[in-house]
Amino acid sequence: MAEASSRSRRGGRAARRAMREDSANAPVAMGSIKRNIPYTELCSAEGLDIIEANAQTILREIGIDFKGDLEALDLWRNAGADVEGERVRFPDGLVRSLLATAPATYVQHARNPARNVTFGGGNVIFAPVYGPPFVHDLDHGRRYGTIADFENLVRLAYVAPHLHHSGGTVCEPVDIPVNKRHLDMVYAHMRLSDKPFMGSVTAPDRAADTVAMCEILFGADFVAENTVCTSLINVNSPMTFDEVMLGALKTYARAGQAVIITPFIMSGAMAPVSAAGTLAQALAEAMAGMAFTQLVRPGAPVVFGLFSSALSMQSGAPTFGTPEPNLVLSAAAQLARRLKLPFRSGGSLCGSKLPDAQAAYESANSLMPAVLSGVNFLLHGAGWLEGGLSSSFEKFVMDCDQLGMSATLLKGYDLSEEGQAMDAIREIGPGGHYLGSAHTQAHFEEAFYRSTLADNNSFEQWESDGSKDMAIRANAKWKQWLNDYVQPPLDASIDEALQAFIAKRKEGMEDRWS
Amino acid sequence: MAEASSRSRRGGRAARRAMREDSANAPVAMGSIKRNIPYTELCSAEGLDIIEANAQTILREIGIDFKGDLEALDLWRNAGADVEGERVRFPDGLVRSLLATAPATYVQHARNPARNVTFGGGNVIFAPVYGPPFVHDLDHGRRYGTIADFENLVRLAYVAPHLHHSGGTVCEPVDIPVNKRHLDMVYAHMRLSDKPFMGSVTAPDRAADTVAMCEILFGADFVAENTVCTSLINVNSPMTFDEVMLGALKTYARAGQAVIITPFIMSGAMAPVSAAGTLAQALAEAMAGMAFTQLVRPGAPVVFGLFSSALSMQSGAPTFGTPEPNLVLSAAAQLARRLKLPFRSGGSLCGSKLPDAQAAYESANSLMPAVLSGVNFLLHGAGWLEGGLSSSFEKFVMDCDQLGMSATLLKGYDLSEEGQAMDAIREIGPGGHYLGSAHTQAHFEEAFYRSTLADNNSFEQWESDGSKDMAIRANAKWKQWLNDYVQPPLDASIDEALQAFIAKRKEGMEDRWS
C-alpha cells in the first residue's frame, strides 16, 4: 500500500510511469470493493476510436479556455501548447504524454487505516451526495441546510455500512458565512467520521485550509508523502476552466492531493444533444484538466470524472436516470480505462421532489449503469434528491440499501464446489424442497443480500404493520441510525489543534454571505 | 418473414437445422426492437462451462420427472432416454441433439401484421404482467381481479407504445368460473387488441380451445403454417414437469405454436441458494423441457425461459430486484445464447404492496439487468406488484415509461457525422451554450426520451401543481389512456364466429370455481 501511495517529490516522468505500472499490482485498501464481474461496455471499439479522434481535434483545433490564471497559461506555453489569450490549443500527443505520469491507482488514506480506499483499477468506492443547498425529510419537508444537518448527514454516512467515503459538501450549511463554512465542513468530516473525505474547492485559500487541517489530522510528513483527500474540480463546460477551480486544483496538486476533473454536462446546454458529441467534448475537457494537474506536479493523483445529465427540452430542467446519459456514462468509463485512469461518475441521481417512485426509478437507473460500467468513485451515491438541490434524509438510507445490493452484485459468482451446490441438488432431487437441505442450512445467513428497507411480508402482515410505504420506513431508519451513531474517538490534542486553527482562521475574516 | 416463420410439417432434423441457420438472417418483424448495444455478460466463459457440465450431470445422473403423462415417458424411452417410473435420465448428447431442430428465431404473427414480433436473435419484445389474482389501484386499493379489470389491462397494453405484446393472464378474472375464463381471456386479447398474445396453459383442452380460436381469427391454414401464439409452460422446479403443463405443451407444440419453458425458481426453495447451483438446475430443466417440445414436433418454436427470485430467509417470501437473481439472469441469458435459442425473463418485478419507491427500485433493478443481459421476451414488463399477486394500474403506466427508456437505451450510439456533432462543437466553442446551436435545433424533438410521468419542473412549479408524487400522476395517466383507447376493428364475421365458439364451449361445461 505504501508503495502505491507514497510519492517521491523528485522522480521524473519515467519514474512516475514505472510507479503507475507497478500500482496495478498494488494491494487493495480495505475500504473499497474489488469488483469481480466484467465491465458492461455499451460502446464499440470503433465508436471509442471516433470519439478519441474527435477529442483530439477539439484539443488541437478548438482548444480549451483557462480563464483568469496567468500561471496556468505560462505552464501550458512552456509545455509546448499554443496559447492565444486564454485559449489553449494542444499539439497532438502533448496531453497524452503528460497523462503518462498520472497514477493508474492511488490510495486515499483515512484517519482509520482500515477505511483507506483505493481509487482506480477494479476498485469501487461509494460516497454520499455532494452540494445541495437544501435538505428534505418527511417531518419538515424542504428547507435550507444547516451545519446541524451537515453533521447529521456525516453521521449517517459514517454509520452506513456500504458508504466507503464520507464525501464533501453533503449539504451546504447556509447558516454559516460562505467564507467560513469550509472550515466547519472539513472539521465535521474529521471529527464525526473516520472515513476518507473530500476537501473544499470554492477558493484556493479554502483548499489550502483543507490541506493545513489535513496536516494537523495526519501529520505534515504523512500528508507530504500520501494522499489524504480527494476533491472535486468541475469543468465549466463547454471547454472552460475558471479561476476558482484552477486555483483549487493547483493547491491540491502541489500538495500531492487528489482532484477529480469533472466535465459537468447537461447535454443540450453544456454539450451537444448527442452522446457521441458529448463524449468527445467531455473527453477533451477531462484530458486537458488532468494533464494540467501533471504540469503542476507530475505524479499528482487525478481522477477522470463525468457528470452527465440531459436537458428536458420541455422545461429546460436537467433530467436524470434517462437512457442518453447512461450511454454517455458507459462509454466514458471505457475511455477512462483506455487512459488507465480512475473514473468517477454520479450515483443515485433523480429529479423528483420526493423520495417516491420517480426518485427510485431514476436513482436505480443511474446507479446500476454506473456500477456495471465500471465507476471507481461513485459520488452522489446516497441522499440526492430534486436534481441535486436537496439532500434527503429518507433517500439517504434508501440509497444506502441499494449500494449494499450493488456491492453484492460486484462480488459476482461463487464458482467453488460449495457454490456449485451439486451435493444439494443430488440430496434434494426432483420434487423436493431446498429449505431443509444441508447446503441451505450452511449458507442460510449469508446466502442473499438482506434489504434494510424492503417489505416482503404478506399484504395482510404489511397492512397490520400500518401499510407503510418505503419512505415512511426510511424515516424511522435514519432516526435509528442517528440514534445508533457513536462518534469515533479522535485524539484530544489533534481535536484542540484543529479547533485552534479554525478559530484563528475565522478571526481574520469578515462574515461573507455570498 | 414468411421464410423464417413458416414451417414444413415434413422436413427432418437436417432441414430444421438449415432453416434455423438461415433464420439468423431473416428480416425482423416490425413489432419488436432490434438491439444495437452489446450484451452485458456477467459470467465468465469458464463459469458457463462449469454450469453446462453440471447441468449435463443432472440430466444424466439425477434426471427429471415427467409426471402423469405416459405418452411423454414413451416418447423419451423411444428417443433413447433411460426411463425409470416417471424419472427420465438422459445419456450425454441426447438433449442437445434434440435441441438442434429448435429454431433460433421465429416470428409470432399478430392479427395486425405491422405488430408481428420476432423472438430470438437481437430482438427484444416487451409484454405486460402475467398471472396476478388481485388488481390494485389508488382509488380502490387491492381487490380480486374481474374480467372488466382484465379487459382494461388489455386496453392499456394496446395503448402503451412500448409494449409489443398483449401478454396472457394480465390478471385472473375471478368473477368467471375457472374452467371458462380462458375463453373470455383469449377473446379479450383477440377483440380488444391487435398485438400478439399468449394462450391458456391451465389444461390441455384449454390450450386446444386457444388454438381453435386462433384458427377462427387467423384461418386454419395460416395457423398450420405460422406461429400465432406463444404460451408459458412453467417447470415445477426442482426438476419436475407436471401433467397439466405437459398436456398444454404437447397441444401447442403439435399445433406448431410456441411455448416458453420456464424454470420458476425461488432460490433457497426450488433450487440451491447459490447462483451457480440454481443455474445448473435451471439449465437442465429448461433443456429437458425444450428438447421434449422437439420430440413432440421437431422444429416447434420454443423459448428458454427463466423466472428467478430469491427466498427471504427471514419471512420465507420471495424477494425481487435483488442482486443474486440478477446474477442468475445474466448467466442464463448467456447460456441461452450458447444454445442459440430465444430467451425469456421476468421484467419489472417487485415485492412492494404499493407503487412506491420500493416498487420502483426493485422493478428498475429487475428490468435493466434483463434488458442489458439480452432478454428477447420480457414478460411482466408492466404492472407487476406485490410479488406478482397484484396487477397495479398505476404501476402499469409507470413501468411502460421505463420500457420506453429501455427501448432508447437499446438503440445505442449514433456514430454518424450528425451524431458526432463536431460542427456544433466548432460552432459553440468554449464558454458557449448549445441550446441555440443549429445542431440542437435540428434534433430538438427527438434528442432525448421524454418521460410520460417524471416531474422535472422546479420545486415551486411542482408544489403549485399540487405536490403530486409519481403514483398520483400515474393514476391520472392510466385513466387518460383508457379514455384515449380506440378498439382496433375486427371483422364482424370473425367476431361472431369467436363468440359462437365460446358460447358453444361454455354450454357443455358446469361452472367450476377451483
Q: How far is B358 from chain A (nearest CA, A)?
A: 6
Q: Rounded CA gap, B231 and B209, in Å?
A: 13
Inter-chain residue contact B361 with A365, CB threshold 8 Å: no
What's B416-485 look like in SS3? Answer: CHHHHCHHHHHHHCCCCCHHHCHHHHHHCCCCCCCCCCCCCCCHHHHHHCCCCCHHHHHHHHHHHHHHHC
* Nearest C-alpha in B relative to A403: B323
Inter-chain residue contact A358 with B455, CB threshold 8 Å: yes
Regarding pTM above 0.90, the answer is yes
Inter-chain residue contact A434 with B323, CB threshold 8 Å: no
Straight-line distance from the first to the last Cα atom of chain A, in angstroms, rounded to the nearest whole number: 42
Partner-chain residue, chosen from A42, A142, A365, that has the shortest CB–CB distance to B364? A365
Partner-chain residue, chosen from B430, B444, B448, that has the shortest CB–CB distance to A310? B448
Inter-chain residue contact A324 with B448, CB threshold 8 Å: yes
Nearest partner of A184 among A196, A168, A163, judged by Cα: A168
Inter-chain residue contact A356 with B357, CB threshold 8 Å: yes
Inter-chain residue contact A425 with B58, CB threshold 8 Å: yes
Q: How far is B36 from chain A (nearest CA, A)?
A: 9
ipTM over 0.85: yes
What value does the mean pLDDT take over residues A435-462?
93
User: Is residue A422 predicted with pLDDT exceeding 70?
Assistant: yes
Inter-chain residue contact B425 with A269, CB threshold 8 Å: no
C-alpha cell at B496: 361472431
User: Which long-range contacts (C-beta less than 8 Å, at least 24 apart) are formed by B489-497?
Assistant: B490/B111, B490/B190, B490/B191, B494/B216, B494/B217, B495/B191, B497/B216
C-alpha cell at B430: 468554449
**DSSP string across B342-365:** -EEE--S----SSSSHHHHHHHHH
- Cα B7 to chain centroid, rounded: 23
Residue partners of B253: CB distance under 8 A and separation at least 6: B259, B293, B296, B297, B300, B302
Inter-chain residue contact B276 with A414, CB threshold 8 Å: yes
Q: Rounded CA gap, A162 and A158, in Å?
A: 10
Cα angle B270-A435-A453, degrees, rounded to a multiple of 5 = 90
Q: How far is A224 from chain B (nearest CA, A)?
A: 36
Least confident of A17-31, A60-74, A317-331: A17-31
Nearest partner of B472 among B356, B351, B389, judged by Cα: B356
Q: Can you tell me whether residue A72 is helix, strand or coil?
A: helix
Partner-chain residue, chosen from B65, B386, B457, that has the shortest CB–CB distance to A431? B65
Nearest partner of A376 among A285, A258, A487, judged by Cα: A258
Q: Which value, to the nearest 10 degrees, does the dihedral of the CA atoms of residues A198, A202, A205, A207 take?
A: 10
Q: What is the pLDDT of residues B207-243, one digit of tens each?
A: 999 999 999 999 999 999 999 999 999 999 999 999 9
Straight-line distance from the first to the last Cα atom of chain B, in angstroms, rounded to the nearest whole number: 42
Q: Rounded CA gap, A305 and B363, in Å?
A: 28
What's B494-510 look like in SS3? Answer: HHHHHHHHHHHHHHCCC
Partner-chain residue, chosen from A272, A369, A451, that has the shortest CB–CB distance to B434? A272
Q: How far is A410 from chain B (nearest CA, A)?
A: 9
Q: Rounded CA gap, A283 and A341, in Å?
A: 12
pLDDT reported for residue A316: 86
Name chain B contacts of A356, Cβ cutoff 8 Å: 356-357, 360, 469-471
pLDDT reported for residue A28: 36
Q: Which value, to the nearest 10 degrees, does the dihedral of the CA atoms of residues B39, B44, B50, B55 take?
A: -20
Inter-chain residue contact B356 with A470, CB threshold 8 Å: yes
Sheet holding B390-392, edge to edge: B141-144, B134-137, B390-392, B384-385
C-alpha cell at B29: 418483424
Q: Rounded CA gap, A481 and A488, in Å?
A: 15
pLDDT reported for residue A12: 46
Partner-chain residue, chosen from B273, B315, B409, that has the shortest CB–CB distance to A326? B409
User: Which long-range contacts (C-beta less than 8 Å, at least 24 apart) are formed by B66-70?
Assistant: B66/B241, B66/B246, B66/B292, B67/B240, B67/B241, B67/B242, B67/B243, B67/B246, B68/B242, B68/B243, B68/B246, B69/B241, B69/B243, B69/B246, B69/B247
Helices A147-159 & A470-484 angle (0-180, nearest 10): 90
Give chain A's radius of gyration (CA, Å). Answer: 23
Sign of CA dihedral B59, B62, B68, B74: positive
User: Is residue A194 predicted with pLDDT exceeding 50?
Assistant: yes
DSSP category for residue B271: B
Inter-chain residue contact A274 with B420, CB threshold 8 Å: yes
pLDDT reported for residue A126: 97
pLDDT reported for residue B288: 98
C-alpha cell at B290: 425444450
Name chain A contacts of B273, Cβ cutoff 8 Å: 421, 434, 439-440, 443-444, 447-448
Q: What is the pLDDT of residues B156-215, one digit of tens each?
A: 999 999 999 999 999 999 999 999 999 999 999 999 999 999 999 999 999 999 999 999
* Nearest C-alpha in A relative to B439: A272
Inter-chain residue contact A276 with B421, CB threshold 8 Å: yes
Domains and CATH numbers, chain A: 1-411+451-514 (3.20.20.480)
Average pLDDT, chain A: 93
Q: Can you tell me whether residue B109 is helix, strand or coil?
A: coil
User: Is residue A306 predicted with pLDDT exceeding 50?
Assistant: yes
C-alpha cell at B392: 397495479
Partner-chain residue, chosen from A362, A372, A443, that has the shortest CB–CB distance to B372? A372
pLDDT reported for residue B30: 55
Alpha helices, DSSP H only, in A300-391? 323-339, 357-373
Cβ burial A250-285 (10 Å sphere, 16+ → b, else e): bbbbebbbbbbbbbbbbbbbbbbbbbbbbbbbbbbb
Q: Rounded CA gap, A219 and A228, in Å?
A: 11
CB A258 within 8 A of CB A252: yes
Sign of CA dihedral B100, B101, B107, B109: negative
Residue partners of A127: CB distance under 8 A and separation at least 6: A157, A163, A164, A165, A166, A167, A198, A347, A377, A378, A379, A380, A381
User: Which long-range contacts (C-beta less than 8 Å, at least 24 apart) are formed by B208-216?
Assistant: B208/B251, B209/B182, B209/B183, B209/B505, B210/B182, B210/B186, B211/B251, B211/B252, B211/B255, B211/B257, B212/B501, B213/B183, B213/B186, B213/B187, B213/B498, B213/B501, B213/B502, B214/B257, B216/B494, B216/B497, B216/B498, B216/B501
- Which of A420, A426, A449, A463 is most worth mutating to test chain B (most B CB atoms within 10 A of its CB)? A420
Q: Rounded CA gap, B472 and B454, in Å?
A: 11
**DSSP string across A381-402:** -S-EEGGGTEEEHHHHHHHHHH
Contacts across the A-B interface (CB distance below 8 Å): 400
User: Is residue A326 predicted with pLDDT exceeding 60?
Assistant: yes
Inter-chain residue contact A414 with B61, CB threshold 8 Å: no
The H or E element spanning position B182 is: helix B181-192
What value does the mean pLDDT take over residues A112-124?
96
* Nearest C-alpha in B relative to A242: B431
Partner-chain residue, chosen from B64, B312, B429, that has the shortest CB–CB distance to A430? B64
Partner-chain residue, chosen from A276, A435, A440, that has the shortest CB–CB distance to B415? A276
Name chain B contacts of A45, Cβ cutoff 8 Å: none
Inter-chain residue contact B357 with A470, CB threshold 8 Å: yes
Partner-chain residue, chosen from A87, A280, A418, that has the shortest CB–CB distance to B425? A280
Name chain A contacts of B312, Cβ cutoff 8 Å: 448, 450, 456
* Nearest C-alpha in B relative to A354: B469
Q: Rounded CA gap, B358 and B403, in Å?
A: 18
Least confident of A93-107, A470-484, B22-36, B330-344: B22-36
Q: How confident is the model at residue A22 (pLDDT cuts 50, 70, 90)?
A: very low
Q: What is the pLDDT of residues A212-252, one digit of tens each?
A: 999 999 999 999 999 999 999 999 999 999 999 999 999 99
The percent of chain B in helix, strand and coil, each rounded to the nearest 5, is: 45, 15, 40
Between B19 and A66, the more confident residue is A66
Q: Rounded CA gap, A228 and B66, in Å?
A: 64
| Pairing outcome for strands B123-126 and A318-319 | unpaired
* Residues of chain B scoring pLDDT < 50: 1-13, 15-29
Inter-chain residue contact B430 with A64, CB threshold 8 Å: yes
User: Is residue A40 predicted with pLDDT exceeding 60?
Assistant: yes
Q: Rounded CA gap, B153 and B495, in Å?
A: 20
pLDDT reported for residue A433: 95
Inter-chain residue contact B351 with A455, CB threshold 8 Å: yes
HSE-CB for B222 with a 13 A CA cutoff:
16
C-alpha cell at B468: 403530486
pLDDT reported for residue A23: 40
Q: Give the max Cα distance, chain A.
A: 79
Q: Rounded CA gap, A192 and A190, in Å?
A: 6
Q: Rounded CA gap, A160 and A404, in Å?
A: 10
CB B22 within 8 A of CB B2: no
- Which of A456, A464, A473 is most worth mutating to test chain B (most B CB atoms within 10 A of its CB)? A456
Inter-chain residue contact A459 with B419, CB threshold 8 Å: no
Name chain B contacts of A381, Cβ cutoff 8 Å: none
